[in-house]
Amino acid sequence: MNPAPLHLVDKNVSARLERLKARAPMLEVKDLVKTFPADGGERVILNRVSFVTHRREFLCVVGPSGCGKSTLIRTIAGLEKANGGEIRVVGEPVHGPGPDRAMVFQGYTLFPWLTVLGNVMFGLRMADKEREGAEREATQWLDLVGLKAYAQSYPHQLSGGMKQRVAIARALAIQPRVLLMDEPFSALDARTRAKMQAYLIDIWRKIDVTIVFITHDLDEALLLADRVLVLKANPGEVVELLDVPALPGGRDLSAPALRAAHDRLESFIHAQEQKNAVEDDPLPPVVRLADVTDNVD
């Protein structure tokens, strides 16, 4: 399948992207290399990955399984050490975790022994914020995500979507410059996931934060992102940085420009998945387990 025509994808994006790129760079990744030990040697997971995000940009990262999406975001967070290249936030090099970045994981990662308020206060207290001030700020963030009424509840008393809203509030409470999100909605049912996407966009519009969001769902990427970074696998390298059309009246995935963008993204990923299937994951031999004349209809 050939990529969608660029003129369909690029229509309606130029002016908006010019405004975006006029903002100050927030996150800069240059020639990033990440390897892991494998079979007595090293396996390259990320190979010279480079991109720049700007202030208040929403960037989604997509790619086939094994392309290093989660490794990329964990390395940006400082949870993994790069083997080469550099990462900068507002021009400052990243050498480990820091308050300029916050992470929301696929799992809820809440402390079960703390209340909702206690969870959101945690980062503030670790930063030596006095208790009264931390409680006041945490309450404001809970109000922002619509959970102020649940401040004294415990995580086991919340639904999956509510837990992830608490995790987002906790991450934002330390006021990071970059919010990193690793497939945060993938464990949710479709209805809750759609609600969470709407919540996230609403929150993002109200605060000064740049978001890097990992997803395997192309529709989710097109609903959320200003731009979509496409990685290929074996090793993970940048294939495309796609500008998402901003349409009058909001994003309708059935609109021709967004369908073209979806087809273009899918063409890159589908081609890579086919290549991986042939090279790395050949079909197993067929073993006869029953008489072929048996009626199995």
Nearest to 276 by CA among 239, 233, 228: 233
pLDDT at 66: 87
Q: What share of the chain is helix, strand, coil (3-state, %, to 5)?
A: 40, 25, 40
Pairing type for strands 84-89 and 92-93 reads: antiparallel
pLDDT at 276: 61
**Bridge partner list, 51:** 29
- As given in the structure block, the two tokens for residue 222 are 């097109």
Backbone angles phi, psi at 107, to 5 degrees: -80, 160
Report the greatest alpha carbon distance in the chain. Answer: 76
pLDDT averaged over 10-residue windows placed end to end, the chain, 297 residues: 46 61 88 90 92 94 92 95 95 93 89 95 90 93 93 95 93 94 91 91 91 95 94 92 79 87 88 59 63 59
The structural domains of the chain, with segments of one domain joined by +, span 19-100+177-241+267-278, 109-175
Residue at 250: amino acid letter: G
Q: What is the dihedral of CA 211, 235, 86, 264, to 10 degrees?
A: -40
Tokens 């390897």 -> residue: 35
What is the distance between the alpha carbons of residues 108 and 105, in angstroms, rounded to a whole number? 7
Report the length, in residues, of the chain. Answer: 297
Backbone angles phi, psi at 280, to 5 degrees: -110, -20
Q: Alpha helix (H) ranges present in the chain? A: 6-10, 14-21, 69-77, 116-126, 131-144, 160-173, 190-206, 218-224, 256-279
Pairing type for strands 101-104 and 178-182 reads: parallel
Backbone angles phi, psi at 274, to 5 degrees: -65, -45
- As given in the structure block, the two tokens for residue 289 are 């387990």
Q: What is the dihedral of CA 70, 72, 74, 76, to 10 degrees?
A: -150
> Cα dist. 97→77, 94, 130, 295 in Å?
6, 8, 22, 60
Contact 61, 72 (CB under 8 A): yes
Contact 202, 250 (CB under 8 A): no
pLDDT at 97: 93
| 246 class by beta-carbon count within 10 Å (0-12 exposed, 13-18 middle, 19+ buried) | middle
pLDDT at 106: 86
19-100+177-241+267-278 is a CATH 3.40.50.720 domain: no
